[in-house]
Amino acid sequence: MPRSELVRRENRAGWFFVLPWVVGFLVFTAGPMIASLVLSFTDYQMIRSPNPVGFDNYRALFDDPRVLKSLSNTFVYAAMFVPLGTVAALGLALMLQRVGRASGFFRTAFYLPEMTPAVAAGAMFLLLLNGQQGLVNKVLGWFGINGPNWTTDPNWLKPSLAIVSLWTLGGTVVIYLAALNGVPRQLYEAAELDGAGPITRLFRITVPMISGALFFTVITNTIAAMQMFDQAYTMFYGPQQKAAASEESLVYMVYLFQNAFQFFKMGFASAMAWLLFVIILAITFVQVRIGNRYVYYHGER
């Protein structure tokens, strides 16, 4: 059999194997993306057929003060959630790594919240975070701290959202745990012999050695934070709450959703989606540039 024939057959088999993914990608990802790109240049009210308007929707993005407001809300939320989430997840992973007995149980326990639908978590946290009767402020009260009105004070809405998001940190914890287990033991032993304390070891060995995992989760968590919808929607825009929703909790995706399905501005909503795409792309690009300088990959020399 000539070699090229073999290559072709292997190619065909390869394509055959990835076909389900390719079809899925085209139908469920690329298709809608292109559709939304097309729609972003139209005035589309869902009912009548779309009407091309050129760059009007993109111009309108800059005229609508709430686009900027929701974007800045989202940035503030992300700026709180991503660092807080990274530190908290790393702390949990370090603790989990040390748990000898019943480690399987604890790992499962910390991952479980990831299985809770965000909507359920949002509803639950509305109770926990209630300023007067909520558990969070009750516990703070034991230490003499007069907790804020997490769910109603406009200044505390975004921190509340960040706290709720911490609930679903299990995935990040598991990634860190795997990375921590990959750090060679002898590095610690050598450092200990040299007299390095636990803090030094953490910052000189652990963090650099798992920087690949840290970098990955910072990027994915940033993207997730920019696209956050469920928690904000359930907590502040659900049927019970929406009347009292404050502009301070209006995150970008919620505003996008409102435009699409409440105000019939599907074209404008599509333009919003593409603006967010560009922003996320830019943020990720910057992160990668910074990351390349500091991140250590095991495969590299």
Please state, in angstroms and rounded to a whole number, the distance separating the CA atoms of residues 45 and 227: 23
- By beta-carbon proximity to other proteins, the closer residue of 82 and 128 is 128
Tokens representing 155? Answer: 């200044």
Dihedrals phi, psi of 42, to nearest 5 degrees = -130, 165
Please state, in angstroms and rounded to a whole number, the distance separating the CA atoms of residues 6 and 191. 53
Strand partners, 42: 52
Q: Which of 194, 189, 256 is nearest to 226 (CA)?
A: 256
Minimum distance from CB of 230 to other proteins (Å)?
14
Q: In angstroms, rounded to a whole number, what is the distance separating the alpha carbons of residues 78 and 33?
A: 24
CB 279 → other proteins: shortest distance, Å? 23
SS3 call for 52: strand
Touching other proteins, residues 122-161 (CB under 8 A): 126, 130-133, 149, 151-154
Cα distances from 123 to residues 138, 214, 237, in angstroms, run 18, 30, 11
Tell me how far apart the alpha carbons of residues 213 and 150 are, in angstroms, rounded to a whole number: 32
- Beta carbon nearer to other proteins, 245 or 280: 245
User: Coil, strand or helix: which one is 168?
Assistant: coil
Nearer to other proteins, 188 or 277 (CB): 277
* Range 226-285, binding other proteins (CB under 8 A): 239, 242-248, 257-258, 260-264
57 binds other proteins (CB under 8 A): no
49 binding other proteins? (CB under 8 A) = yes
6 interacts with other proteins by CB under 8 A: no
Site string for other proteins, 173-212 (x = CB under 8 A): ----------------------------------------
Using CB under 8 A as the binding criterion, the count of chain residues that bind other proteins stands at 41
Contact window for other proteins (CB under 8 A) among 28-36, 81-89, 177-185, 272-280: 28-36
Compute the least distance from the CB of residue 156 to other proteins, in Å.
8
